[in-house]
Structure 1
Amino acid sequence: MRTPAETAPNRPAAATGDGFPFRVAVVGAGPSGCYTAQALRKGQPDVEIVLLDSLPTPFGLVRYGIAPDHQGAKAVSRQFERVFAQPGVEFLGNVSVGNDIGFASLLENFHAVVLATGLGADRQLAVDQDPDARVVGAGDLIRLLNSDPDALLRHRPGGLESLGTEVVVLGTGNVAVDVARLLSKSDLDLIASDVDDDALRAVAPSPVRTIHILGRCPSQLAKWDASMVRELAQVVGVQVNVDGTPLPGEPTNSPRTTVNVRFEQVPASIRRHGGRIRVTTHRAGDSGQVGHVDADTVITALGFESPAAHLARSGGLDAPNVFRVGGPATGRLGNLAENRKLAADTAKDVLAFLRGQVQPRRAGLAGLRDRLPASAVDFDAWRRIDDAELRRARPDRCRTKFTTRDELLAAAAGSAAPPSTPLATTGPSTTQEK
């Protein structure tokens, strides 16, 4: 019986001679990278695929970007686990391309390279603002509540400060709704989640009392899914008002949290005012109609910046055998359905390129072995992390994640994880009300 590689249309003979006619490296093991690997294997079952990630854990946005109370969406990782279980598909975590391994090494050892690095830091708001005004990125906040070790490390030296009782969220996408929902939920609402309880109690010792969501667009152009807003309105104890009109939800005479959504509000400045923060806005299309909202913290949910600079500086990114998917291709994160569609299209492009010409011999993973850091994490090591996190789950939580790279690497090695470094907090540290 002939293999799929032998029967593929217009496909030159295999050049590697060891069962893998093509070898593809995917930089980034988040949903875009995993969906790409899945689609590549569907189109060419005998392609070797190596997914590299700077974090010790796979799944990227699924693990650290999807809100911790949306476990249904996070369950897509089970699909990805089946891809990694296939022979010839490898995960290499705790490996930074551009630092630990040069990009040139990937081009030297693989027939094609797919950039699936997602996007970096939260996009900054380009308005006049006091440098010491409390402005927090929504993406960074979600990563904190998901136990992202790098996000926690950035905040650990000075500790996490309470966001206060009243916050402003700038932006009307799904991430803005995620933030509002997580900051307004009680402990009972978070049962079966994998929220980082220590981080949540630091930034929101109790559910935030008032959340103002400001969008510069008209209501019909909001980028969030309507179902997300309905879900927020259905949280017990939460009242959502859109331009002054209450949304139907759980009835309550004294809401725990009030969410006020206002559209066509263009931020003009963020200034310190009377010990708090004042966001000055003007009506879209009318710079003379000025208003303001006072709060304790401003949270920006405006999208994300381009990928890490160290990879952007690498040579060879514009080579014909380098492809982009997800954030590096579109400039936005997108949802899982969008990522899957884009990954399928990218996989078709990769395979069409590889089948269009005779490919030289490439070593693939074997060519990287002596260049990998000793602390690289393979998929078996990730399973040890996964098992350990499930075993240490706190009551009412589906898992309790390790919060530092040292803990993750210790679990990957199968040894007892070192004690967690306490996360310093400022302000009250009482548990959220029931």
Structure 2
Amino acid sequence: MELLTQPFNGSLGNRLKELLRSGKFNELNIAVAFAKNSGILRLINDFDDFLENGGKINAYIGVDLGGTSYEALTALLPRTTSLHIIHAETTQSFHSKMYNFVGEDEELLIVGSNNLTGGGLWTNLESSLIISIDHKDNAPMQERFYQYIENLESLDNSCMSIKEQEDIDRLLQNGYIEKEVFTLIQQNSKKNKDEKNTNKLFGDGKSTQLPRLKTQSEPQTSPSPQKPEPVAALNFSIPASRGGDTIWFEARAMTGGSRNILDLSMKSLLISGNPQGTAYDIGESNYMSGAVKFFGIDPTNTLNHKDITINYNGIDYNDNTILFPEGSKANGTWRLQIKGKDASGNKITEVLNLAGRPYLPHKIISFTKIKDDYYFMSVFSESQLNFFKKASWLLAFNGSTEKARQMGIIRND
């Protein structure tokens, strides 16, 4: 038996990753109140490998208090053997936080306060009891856990089995869940309002960070094959944007044959906010570093390019390229080519083409950072622009003049 007090003596997220890869277990049962992409996407490779090796993952997730997002359930659906939503149409909340590993020789039960979110698994002050279930002395413990799962499934209409994406879409359409970025906007808008009217009485707690996840091929930024990288760029070190932060863009018409190319400014004219002392500070009044900085690229080193993975609706699309184009079609700004393919070779441009019409133009497109080359993308109606503007820590034009489209950065504190 072990008491894990996060973050003082480790994180539950790292412990789950170790257990999933230990080879000791063939079943994981999850019963949690909240699930967010910030937690799931940091476990996504571990989940996939666990399933590929013959394991089973059963998840029971709550949707109370806005704690579970559309993107999280979308990402979980193909990575679970069974997925259930627990909800009562009363003031009663589903508030369990349990993780149960089952193997041929041993079982493990984790009970505590950790939700399936980035904060719950890594950065929040959380505590959990890790109980090794000995077959001789603690056998009834596993039986009681299974009995709890049976009790949940016996709740009839308060336990919904999620079989396909349409089930998740129905939860979104009926207001039981929101897109993750929109929830963040609502929280930041309330926080900005409260901070204007409240004196802070407490400190900032213990400093923690979400884990930096290593990629398979580093460095992520590579020189263009057409030109040698200048010597000056070899010693360049850029402070990366913080994990979990979100950048959004007013898309308007977009460019490219599939309307899939998004301009990323080298330099941005500020509308509001103060970048001083941050990665976006360029030492010029009324200006900040351009949008390309969010993706970890030096805006002035135009010889570089970078491939990123975009998670959209729970699927990873690799090889979306950020580059500074040259030639007759260049417009003097960086570009993100949203052109990636999934593991089966399906193109994201095909997914974003609805009934022969590109989906992205005249929308708001957001990217939330998971790691240096991995972001999840969400798409919103232009009509929600004011909500995004009010929630932004930095609000600017995606260019150096007022003719450019608007963009903003939302902090996930």
TM-score, normalized by the shorter chain, greater than 0.5: no
Higher strand share: 2
Higher helix share: 1
Report the TM-score range of the alignment, normalised by the length of the smaller protein.
Answer: under 0.3
